[in-house]
Chains A and B, each alone.
Chain A
């Protein structure tokens, strides 16, 4: 039942956007103008391509994010049952977190967290 509702919620989102777009297309006026289809960049013609390379800083943070996000994913099942697992599991998870903090400290030391 829950999964049926999940699919319903997804389809509702898609259908809502689709229907409203169609409605807007039906209601809205249309006109043609040579300048209208230019991208808006402060009213002056665009220089060069816009699909260009962007700075590597964003990429670096994405990699770091991946590391931490996967780690949180591993910790979720532990957090649910941590109350019943006892101290041995707590110690191992603390060790796991310690390795992760080492990773963060390394990235910090290497200057990966600076925005040059």
Chain B
């Protein structure tokens, strides 16, 4: 398995040999910033294309197919179009909050995006409290959504934002508890150590009995709700609220919400594949050494992306299969089913780990 930290430490040493320490840190920070923006933009485009094509195939349509081969340039054109649209500022809005909201939403999703472990040693933010940090930063996005709805001075926006707030904070509990369940098994909160453990001892979804599998399913449901996507997309619900909390945003301001929504889906899938499916760890069957060696040749970031797109496929499948729920059904599902289930899973996992029943 290729260790990316060989490259980063070589770069660090090379920079240190030609410039003072503070300048090295500055240059590395600029490189990191460029890396984040590049990956963020690339994956936003890939995600939007995948989503539109998938949606089209589910509905027996063709989807974008005019611009470029198989419609691949469509997303680029959309971005350019959005950039050249006028940003309309309305008369009676709270201008400051209206302008502030996209900053919060995009910053939250970009910082959580930086937590993803792409490869061994290729992780931008690797704290020892990684999972906790991820949850904490991720919840800043809700503030942006609430501000967007409130500041627009529009009743649709307000209703959409309130629904989004209630839904996101509710489902965050399930996500938090499912992650807690898995941390009982991992014994660490750092993403790099979680991946390393799985590379050595197998993926946690296999090691944690049926409890980990059930936790994975709860995560998939809560993850879709967390990203405001169908069947939980009633903060936006085009047919009732026009567009929910971003009704009054135009041009690129709307584009930021679009971007953050798709990237949040990617991040959600990335977390699922890190915690349950091993991140960059290859698929290994104990005993089959030849097979394992072939698997270990495939680089880590390929494994990571394959897993992420597998989880994305599950999330999209879920989205386009079920009809939209009502707000009371959403909250009932969370508070009366998912929270008791995830608490039960936490207790079961704690018992499994302390009785040594895990693999």
Contacts and interface: CB of A to CB of B under 8 A. Distances in A.
A14 B131 CA distance: 23
Contacts, number: 205
A107 to B, nearest CB: 8
B158 interface: yes
Interface in A54-81: 54, 57-58, 61-62, 64-65, 68-69, 72-73, 75-76, 79-81
Q: Is the interface of A mostly helix, strand, loop or mixed?
A: helix
Nearest to A6: B125
A97 to B, nearest CB: 6
Given A2-B125, A38-B91, A13 B29 contact: no
Given A6-B125, A21-B87, A64-B335, A97 B346 contact: yes
Interface residues of B, number: 82
A58 B150 CA distance: 14
B169 A2 contact: no
B327 to A, nearest CB: 6
A94 B159 CA distance: 39
A113 B335 contact: yes
Nearest to A83: B187
Nearest to B177: A72
A79 B184 contact: yes
Contacts of B85: 24, 28
A9 B125 contact: yes
Interface string B130-158: 01100000000000000000101111111
Nearest to B171: A65
Contacts of A61: 166, 169-170, 331, 335
Given A72-B176, A79-B180, A115-B327, A4 B33 contact: no
Interface of A: 1-2, 4-18, 20-21, 23-25, 27-31, 36-42, 46, 50-52, 54, 57-58, 61-62, 64-65, 68-69, 72-73, 75-76, 79-83, 86-87, 90, 93-94, 97, 100-101, 104, 108, 113-115
